[in-house]
Amino acid sequence: MKFFRSIYPIVTGGLAVVLALAACTPAGSAAPSATAGSIPTAAVTPPETTPAVQADLANTSWILESMGAPGTETAAAGGVAVTLVFQDGGQAGGYGGCNSFNSAYQIRGDEISFSQVISTMRACVDQTLMQQEVELFQALNATGQYTLEGDHLTISYNQGAGTLNFMRSSAAPQNTPTSVVIPGNSTPESLLPPTGGEVGGEDYLDDRSAPEQLVASYFNAINRREYLRAYSYWADPSGSLGSFEEFSQGYADTTSVEVSLGSIGADAGMSQVYYSVPALLTAHTGDGAPQTYAACYVIHFTQPGVLGQPPFYPMRFLKGDARLLDSGEDAQPALAQACADLGFPAGNPLPLIATTAPDDIGVNAYIDNRSGPVAVLQSLFNAVNRHEYVRAYSYWEVTGLSYETFRDGYAETAAVQLRTGQVSSGVGAGQTYYSVPVVLIAQTTAGETQTFAGCYQMHLASPAIQAQLPFRPLAIQSADVDQVANDSDADALLNRDCSPG
């Protein structure tokens, strides 16, 4: 099996019926989505700062103790350290309790100001922590005077109506948590991506909802010998992996790859998120002992809400490298040091976030999953609920509508709930067609409830026979959906026959 060192590329950046649904309130400074890895993030140009004063804060790290009206501040929510870190050159950043953030800062006299506060968009299940983070980011955008006394930093905001109280990290109690990781990463989670089975079935994984899912999808494609699908997960596949022929031949002797992930790191800047993903790869061949590699991948994610026009750029690999472990070498230390040993940044630890329910398509979830027809519909309406219309538009194979018409069709929608019935499918000449009965319950911006029912038709050309970019994933071909009475029997509506004609 071959592993290729990649070059860091520059990333730039039908619907048969438009339902008068709409999408939820924008995530704003609050909720959703993913995080990043510490790669060349788009740097925020810092304003001028008095060097002598800046030196007092540069290269210092602080933990939030309390915030609120002076004299009646609320203690910071427990369990997670909310941090503020000042770097050289007028740069600041930290961890808000749910998300990492970056900013420029400026000091003039006894006043401090922050600008261009950019955060990752991962949602906390703990609503207290989520609300505290929202208020913190709002406070940082409205700061005023500050005082620095020993190990204590106080920053006023909202013209003195509020105060942020910080303790120097080195002075914090020993049991103060300074980093947390996502579930399954503190103890590496072993993955064996399936090698065969039905396309669109449980063992077919084409999921870009999170970095660990992208890695699993990549090796799922390799184990299933769907090499064009694997190749398509890279932002610049030819620059990173060579030609498609070279890439596919590199796995000619590989029967399967097992994957174990380490602690994923993340950084963000200017609506871009970067993940550093350490991994152990155990490659099995038909004629030899397994070989184990320590690998590191850099994954890039553009916040979909900032995209004003197609195309949509999903989460994808920027670069990766691996080294073969020596005989008898301890794998766990190699995994922990994989990114550093290969010259890749480790990134900031990801927050401990509880997983949302599998069928949750609200704004606190981020779903970009084409593993099956129901997953595609969940991804579509998750994008609608998050106002990520360019992403929603991308789930259609052919819309017959301009993007602007598609987007405007959701202008009065506040939120959408989705229910699906029994999926039916048909196969022929390497093509698979799916039909899904649905019931959609929409809340409009005027506060009204509207119910729709009908069928969605989807198509996937067999990934094993696709041999030329672009790879064509499972996508929606058409929809036949009508508005029905709100008191209609949803179960009866979902029992309709949507079989492909």
Model confidence pLDDT, tens digit, residues 430-472: 999 999 999 999 999 999 999 999 999 999 999 999 999 999 9
Who has greater pLDDT, 192 or 17? 192
Q: How many domains does one find in the chain?
A: 3
pLDDT higher than 60, residue 178: no
pLDDT higher than 80, residue 358: no
Q: What is the pTM of this model?
A: 0.65
Say if residue 220 is in the same domain as residue 193. Answer: yes
Does 180 fall in a domain? no
Who has greater pLDDT, 407 or 79? 407
- Of 171, 204, 228, the one marking the end of a domain is 171
Quick one: tokens of 179?
């980093």
Does 19 fall in a domain? no
The percent of the chain in helix, strand and coil, each rounded to the nearest 5, is 20, 35, 45
Say if residue 334 is in the same domain as residue 208. Answer: yes
Share of the chain above pLDDT 90, in %: 55
pLDDT of the residue at 42? 30
Say if residue 339 is in the same domain as residue 400. Answer: no
Say if residue 387 is in the same domain as residue 341. Answer: no
Per the prediction, the chain carries an average pLDDT of 80
Say if residue 148 is in the same domain as residue 297. Answer: no
Give the pLDDT confidence of 306-334 residue by residue, as tens digits. 899 999 999 999 999 999 999 989 988 89
Say if residue 123 is in the same domain as residue 253. Answer: no
Say if residue 281 is in the same domain as residue 389. Answer: no
H/E segment holding residue 456: strand 449-461
Range of weakest confidence among 103-117, 170-184, 263-277, 367-381: 170-184
pLDDT of the residue at 266? 86
**Phi–psi pair at 256, nearest 5 degrees:** -165, 160
- Around 426, how many Cα atoms within 13 Å sit in the side-chain half-sphere? 10
Say if residue 322 is in the same domain as residue 237. Answer: yes
pLDDT higher than 90, residue 2: no
pLDDT of the residue at 37? 28
Range of weakest confidence among 39-48, 107-116, 367-376, 478-487: 39-48
Max mean pLDDT range (114-128, 259-273, 279-293, 412-426): 412-426
Does 459 fall in a domain? yes
Does 501 fall in a domain? no
Residue 60: pLDDT band with limits 50, 70, 90: confident
- Of 314, 348, 382, the one marking the end of a domain is 348
Say if residue 164 is in the same domain as residue 118. Answer: yes
- Around 37, how many Cα atoms within 13 Å sit in the side-chain half-sphere? 28
Q: What is the CATH number of the domain that holds 487?
A: 3.10.450.50
Q: Average pLDDT of 261-266?
A: 84
CA distance 189 to 379: 25
Residue 199: pLDDT band with limits 50, 70, 90: very low
Say if residue 295 is in the same domain as residue 379. Answer: no
pLDDT of the residue at 34? 32
Give the pLDDT confidence of 405-425 residue by residue, as tens digits. 999 999 999 999 999 999 999
pLDDT of the residue at 184? 24
Say if residue 121 is in the same domain as residue 193. Answer: no
pLDDT of the residue at 426? 92
Q: Average pLDDT of 216-228?
A: 94
- Of 171, 206, 234, the one marking the end of a domain is 171
Task: Identify the domain containing residue 59 by its residue range.
Answer: 51-171
Does 143 fall in a domain? yes
Does 40 fall in a domain? no
Say if residue 456 is in the same domain as residue 391. Answer: yes
pLDDT higher than 80, residue 190: no
Q: What is the CATH number of the domain that holds 157?
A: 2.40.128.270
Does 76 fall in a domain? yes
Give the pLDDT confidence of 328-354 residue by residue, as tens digits. 899 888 988 999 999 998 887 665 444
pLDDT of the residue at 500? 65
